[in-house]
A and B are shown apart, each in its own frame.
Chain A
């Protein structure tokens, strides 16, 4: 299976701290996308990083991709209580057939 796996499964931090989540996958990919989900609602797209990219930024988000290690990380800086959610990575190597990991549950305490 090419399924991405996030690590850790759960993360609890104080507001203002940084949160780092990792994602590992098994086969080559075209791109990797990170999503946020609040309480069983829809997925909110955060960032896409392509296989030929190593790092991307979007606001307080920083994503890295290491294709040699088949891993990616999502860093949220200066976290806020509103960042409390589940975070998923999704890998794509075959025409938008995405594989999702089981997600990281982030709890940001005010």
Chain B
């Protein structure tokens, strides 16, 4: 069974631009959640989707948004990029609630 796949693996963007990151969950998994990891703040929850509905949202500005498609694949978008958005963005998938959550390798975003 394929694991969680995140694309692209690396990305360099300029301040003010926008970016879209993609996450393909493990087959059969309906929950996808996103996290931002930085050296200063650690791992922080962005949002979680289940069956195309956002169930939870973290404390991030509205520039951070996401969506989930009917095949459970998810995308997150960051608009008007700032230098502080440079981070490793991780997504995790799970079958449902209260089950193991498996992470992808992440997308490393650098904003210059």
Which residues from chain B contact A48 at a C-beta distance below 8 Å?
99-100
Known: A43-B90, A50-B98. A98 touches B103 (CB 8 A): no
Known: A35-B103, A97-B33. A40 touches B88 (CB 8 A): yes
1/0 contact trace for B4-33 toward A, CB 8 Å? 101000000000000000000000000101
Contact residue range for chain B? 20 to 34
Measured in the bound complex, the distance between the Cα atoms of B54 and A104 in whole Å is 31
Which residues from chain A contact B33 at a C-beta distance below 8 Å?
96-98
Which residues from chain A contact B102 at a C-beta distance below 8 Å?
45
Measured in the bound complex, the distance between the Cα atoms of B97 and A40 in whole Å is 26
- Compute the total of residue contacts between A and B using a CB distance below 8 Å: 70
**Cross-chain contact A92 with B98 (CB below 8 angstroms):** yes
Is B56 close to A, CB under 8 A?
yes
Which listed segment binds A: B43-51, B65-73, B75-83? B43-51
Known: A42-B106, A45-B103. A98 touches B98 (CB 8 A): no
Q: Chain B interface secondary structure, helix, strand, loop or mixed?
A: strand
**Cross-chain contact A96 with B31 (CB below 8 angstroms):** yes
Is B105 close to A, CB under 8 A?
yes
Partner of A42, one of B45, B56, B98, B104: B104
Known: A40-B88, A97-B45, A100-B43. A30 touches B98 (CB 8 A): yes
Contact residue range for chain A? 20 to 34
What would 28 A/B residue contacts be, using CB atoms closer than 8 Å? A31-B98, A33-B100, A33-B101, A41-B105, A41-B106, A42-B6, A42-B104, A44-B103, A45-B103, A48-B99, A50-B98, A88-B43, A90-B101, A92-B98, A94-B56, A95-B56, A96-B31, A96-B48, A96-B55, A96-B92, A96-B97, A97-B48, A98-B35, A100-B35, A100-B43, A101-B42, A102-B42, A103-B42
